[in-house]
Each structure stands twice: as C-alpha cells, then as structure tokens.
Amino acid sequence: MAEKIIMTEADMRRAISRIAHEIVERNQGCQDLVFIGMHTRGVPLAHRLARRIKEFEKVDIPVGALDISLYRDDLSSRGLQAEVHPTSVPTNIAGKRLILVDDVLFTGRSIRAALDELVDLGRPYSIQLAVLVDRGHRELPIRADYVGKNVPTSRDEDVAVKLRDIDGTEEVVIIRESR
Amino acid sequence: MTVSSGHRKQNREIEKRSGTTGNAVVQTEWHHRHLLDTDILSREEIELVFNHATAMEEILGREIKKVPTLRSKTIVNMFFEASTRTRASFDLAAKALSADVINITASGSSVEKGESLLDTVLTIQSLGADVIIMRHQCSGAPYFVARNVKCSVINAGDGWHAHPTQALLDMFTIHKHKNGLKGLKIVIVGDILHSRVARSNIHGLAAMGARVIACGPPTLMPVAGAFPAVKFEYDLDRAIQGCDVVMPLRLQLERQQGGLFPSTREYSRMYQVTPERLSRANPGAIVLHPGPMNEGIEISPEVAHGPQSVVEEQVANGVAVRMALLTLVLLGTSYGSFGK
C-alpha cells in the first residue's frame, strides 16, 4: 500500500483556523453555537475548533459527541461495529445552531445517520457541517458548509486523517491499494 | 485514523491495526446467534455487552427513547411461565430499538389446545420471527427450540436452569457501582439449588474474576462439585463478613417440594438479610435482588428500600442490557445479515 501525504500538520492547523473564522463569520458571532463531533475523529476536531474560537472570540462553545452506530443504514448487511460509544450532547439542542464536525466527507451516509440522530435529540435552529477533507463520491444530496481541503480521489483509494490525540501523528494521507 | 472507502476488507484491517479510542477498548466480536446461558460467554464478550448497554442507557435517558436500529425485525416474547419485569423489560427494549413485538403467553394461545412446543415455535418462525425470547418451566426447553429454528433464541428463564439476561443485568449493575467485577466478594443467599438466577450469575461472575460465596441451608445447596469456583457457606453472618455485594434470592415457594426447610419463619430467622447482618459487609456494599421480593422473608423491608439497595436500578439497567443483547444477537459483527 502506497501512502501519500496530502495535508501536513501545518496545513491542518491553518485549515482548522480558517474554518473557525468562517463559522463565526457566517453565524455573525457565537450565539447559540454548539459543536457536535462525530466519533471517532470528529470529536477531537470539534474540540480544536472550539478552542480556536475561544482564542479569538473569548467565548466557550459547548462540544458534544455523537455515535451514529445505531442509526447506520448498512446495519443489516454489514453488522454492528464491535464498540459503541455513548452519545453525549451537553446541552438541550432545541433552538441551537449545531455545527456537525467530521474528519472525512465521502458518501454522505454517516451524515444522513447523524442528522437523523440529532433530530431525535431535539429540534435545532439549524445544522451546519464542517469537515477536514471532502473526498467526493457522494451517494446522497449532502454537502459541507465548511471544508478544510477538497481532495479528488478514486473509489479504491482511502483517505486517512491522523490526529495526535488518537494516532500519535498529525497528517492526512491518501492510501492506494497496491495490486 | 479514520478511513472512508468502498473497500470493506481493507477498512476492517485498518480498523484492527489502529484500534479504537475510549477508555475501555473492546476488541472482541460477538459470535452467538442464541443466548441460552452465561456459561458460553468470555470475559471479553461480557465486557462487550456492558459497552453496548452503556450506549443504550444514554438512549433511555433521551426525551425520544427510540433508535431505528432494529427496524423491520420481529421479536416474539413467548412466556410459558408468569413474568412481569422480564417480559415488560424485553418489550420496552425491543420497542426502543424500533423492532416489532408480538407477545404470546401459554394461557390464551394454542398451547391450551394441546399444541406441542415444537409446533408452536415453528408456527412463530413461519410468521417471520427474527428472535424468540422464551421463558419455560422446563429446564433446557430453549435449547430444544434453538436446535429446531433458524431464528435467534434468547432464554428468559428455563426451569431451575438459567436466566442469562438477569445475570447480565445484575453484573452490569455491580460493574457500574464497583467499577469492575474482578476480585469482588459476592454473597448469593438462599435457595441456590432451584435458582436459575444464581446459576447464571455464578457462571458469569466467575468469568469476570469475582469471588462468589453461596450461602443457604444445606438442603437448598447444589451437590458438591457442581460449581468448582464457588465457596459454600451455611452461616450467613460469616458469609457476609467483608463482602462487597449481597444478593438474596427469592424463596421460590412454587418450586419447593416440601421438607427442604422447616418453615419460612425459621428460614427468615437464619437467612434474612437484615440491617444488622448487612453492617458486617464492607462499607459501601450494595444489595441486589432479582425480584419479586418477599419482604420479611429473604430480605427485610429496611434493607430492601434502604440506601444500599440498588433493586430499582437493576430494573432500569435491565432494559439497557436487553437492548444490548438484542442488538448483538441480531447484528453482532460475525452475523451481519444472518437470518434474512
């Protein structure tokens, strides 16, 4: 398998900074914002965005974590992942502006599941989507509001986001299966 | 690293390589189509049940207590013996997962017309059941059914033999209070001989590394050697000394053939869990009861409703544990599309 780095640590830091500013700009401040990170790597990314906004706006934005395992649409064909994390959303999300955070946007199916789960938790004012990488190949009418990097990929490639808190290194790579 | 690709196999390999996050990393997969007793479960599999049950608890705390996970699955509650909490608990668990539930009891069904157990379950299977949850007065009946049907079978209590979901919810309750089960001293008090709850708990607790002491009158104890991992003790005051968990069992008057103990009055004098006896346990010890309680016989009302009792919590945990088990049996990683 061949790996190619498409974002370095510095690229990731700049992308997160830019997205943080875009979020504040588009929402005209931080009023009612809540970050929702998607397990696994969306959660630390959501915390980073919240920290970055705290640095320049001096506002604490609540961060929640969402596990969509029980809402997936391929449960009956693929089965359940071994481990399920409890969803933990800190505040009542009714009337809030939610920023859903994930690492890679691909088919859009996990986002569909996340939207279903969020709607079960309450009726937010709006839901926006922030991703570090958009690799294309959507199978549902879903798009991201904030994108760190658009990466054209082929279907038999993998995009892997590595975060220091989880993987020990900080980079985004494309993995090509050798055959 | 997270991976998004159409290549499932590669995905799985990458997931395995990088492991997962969170404090308790669960690496095991679920390999059981049926859940008939706890004696088939490894420590890792029991921890997997706890992991899923924790996620299910969060759902039960929501305003909308429903997830779409088991949509279009049919779950049949087949109870040939009386039950309030187990049946209601399975019913709620199935509904919280969006499954369709059918309830069948012996009275009012074709069983009354003399239909055999095999014919009854084959009929239910033909109607499209994905899981049969079964309680039966005969030990081993769910095993017989499991051998003859294609769907999953969950044992909700068979005779004197096993009651695995009760044991798992008891263990989950202890696990939550004591942050694990390894090394805990657990006293099960009462009619061990006739108790399916005790048997299933003993197997599961042994797998988790707890020290189990069975306490009761010698006539209500299983034969020596039945449970090598268990210590038997006939004096409750001595058994309860320094223990972390006390689990009095219901004195099952319907299962007594008579002559095994002189009177309920004498039984309660010697084996009732009272505040005085409980004071010999470790500080912070908890009291569980599988219910329904005979207050004043195996447990005093002060203990049953006292600060150390977790009986009501057990009932709530039961729904979460049964949700976890239904999901695992139907969607466990190694079964995937099993059944349909």
State what percent of residues in chain B have pLDDT above 70: 88
User: In this model, does residue A42 exceed pLDDT 60?
Assistant: yes
Residue B1 lies in a domain: no
Residue B260 lies in a domain: yes
CB–CB of A82 and B334 under 8 A?
Answer: no
Residue B241 lies in a domain: yes
pLDDT digit string, tens, across residues B193-202: 999 999 999 9
Same domain, B324 and B282: no
User: In this model, does residue B15 exceed pLDDT 70?
Assistant: no
pLDDT recorded at residue B273: 97
CB–CB of B333 and A82 under 8 A?
Answer: yes
CA of B117 vs chain A CAs: smallest distance (Å): 30
Residues of A in contact with B2 (CB under 8 A): 40-41, 103-104, 160-161
Distance CA(B43)–CA(A163), nearest Å, equals 31
- State the amino acid at position A122 in one-letter form: G
CB–CB of A86 and B333 under 8 A?
Answer: no
Of A77, A135, A161, the CB nearest to B336: A77
Same domain, B111 and B240: no
Same domain, B117 and B92: yes
pLDDT-derived band at B336, boundaries 50, 70, 90:
very low
pLDDT-derived band at B20, boundaries 50, 70, 90:
very low
Query: What DSSP designation does A86 have?
Result: P
pLDDT recorded at residue A178: 66
Structural domain count, chain B? 2
pLDDT recorded at residue A179: 57
Same domain, B180 and B276: yes
List all residues of chain B from 41 to 70 with a beta carbon under 8 Å from chain A: 48, 51-52, 54-55, 57-59, 62-64, 66-69
pLDDT digit string, tens, across residues B257-279: 677 888 888 999 999 999 999 99
Residues of B in contact with A160 (CB under 8 A): 1-3, 14
Strand pairing of B185-189 and B211-215?
A: parallel
Distance CA(B122)–CA(B214), nearest Å, equals 39
State what percent of residues in chain A have pLDDT above 90: 81
Distance CA(A168)–CA(B1), nearest Å, equals 10
Residues of A in contact with B19 (CB under 8 A): none
pLDDT recorded at residue B339: 33
CB–CB of B331 and A75 under 8 A?
Answer: yes
pLDDT recorded at residue B337: 36
Nearest CA in chain B to A162: B1
Please state the separation of Cα B129 from the chain's center in Å. Answer: 22
HSE, side-chain direction, 13 A CA sphere, residue A55: 10
Strand partners, B186: B212, B245
Q: Which residue has the higher pLDDT, B223 or A111?
A: A111
| C-alpha torsion sign, points A46, A51, A55, A57 | positive
**Residue-averaged pLDDT of chain A:** 93
pLDDT digit string, tens, across residues A12-33: 999 999 999 999 999 999 999 9
- Sequence-ordered alpha helix ranges (H) in chain B: 8-18, 43-60, 85-96, 117-126, 141-148, 164-178, 196-207, 236-240, 264-271, 275-278, 301-304, 311-331
Residue B63 lies in a domain: yes
Q: Which residue has the higher pLDDT, B103 or B261?
A: B103
Domain span including residue B142: 28-163+318-331
User: In this model, does residue A50 exceed pLDDT 90?
Assistant: yes
What CA–CA distances, in Å, run from B233 to A27, B212, B275?
68, 11, 20
pLDDT recorded at residue B18: 35
Q: Which helix (H) or strand (E) holds B156?
A: strand B152-158
Same domain, B181 and B208: yes
CA of B24 vs chain A CAs: smallest distance (Å): 9
- In CATH, what number is assigned to the domain containing residue B113? 3.40.50.1370
pTM: 0.87
Same domain, B171 and B251: yes
Strand pairing of A157-162 and A146-150?
A: unpaired
User: In this model, does residue B4 exceed pLDDT 90?
Assistant: no
- What the block records as the tokens of B26 is 């669960």
CB–CB of A79 and B5 under 8 A?
Answer: no
Query: What integer is the mean pLDDT of B58-80?
Result: 93
pLDDT digit string, tens, across residues B280-325: 999 999 999 998 999 999 999 999 999 999 999 999 999 999 999 9
pLDDT digit string, tens, across residues A63-118: 999 999 999 888 877 777 767 888 898 889 999 999 999 999 999 999 999 999 99
CB–CB of B333 and A81 under 8 A?
Answer: yes
pLDDT recorded at residue A43: 96
User: In this model, does residue B327 exceed pLDDT 60?
Assistant: yes
Answer whether A156 touches B (CB < 8 Å).
yes
Query: What integer is the mean pLDDT of B54-79?
Result: 93
CA of A41 vs chain B CAs: smallest distance (Å): 7
Same domain, B324 and B299: no
Nearest CA in chain A to B96: A70
List all residues of chain A from 51 to 80 with a beta carbon under 8 Å from chain B: 67, 69-71, 75-80
pLDDT recorded at residue B26: 53
Q: Which domains does chain A show, CATH number per domain?
A: 2-176 (3.40.50.2020)
**Residue-averaged pLDDT of chain B:** 87
pLDDT recorded at residue B255: 67
Residue B292 lies in a domain: yes
Same domain, B230 and B241: yes
List all residues of chain B from 316 to 335 with a beta carbon under 8 Å from chain A: 327-328, 331-335
CB–CB of A106 and B64 under 8 A?
Answer: no
SS3 at position B202? helix
CA of A51 vs chain B CAs: smallest distance (Å): 21
Distance CA(A36)–CA(A89), nearest Å, equals 7
Residue A120's Cβ-count burial label (10 Å; 0-12, 13-18, 19+) is middle
Q: Chain A to chain B, count of Cβ pairs less than 8 Å apart?
A: 117
Same domain, B287 and B323: no
Query: What integer is the mean pLDDT of A44-50?
Result: 97
Query: What residue ranges in A9-95 does DSSP mark as E strands?
Result: 33-38, 63-66
Residue B188 lies in a domain: yes
Same domain, B169 and B103: no
pLDDT-derived band at B11, boundaries 50, 70, 90:
very low
User: In this model, does residue B62 exceed pLDDT 50?
Assistant: yes
Of B2, B62, B337, the CB nearest to A40: B2
Same domain, B229 and B110: no
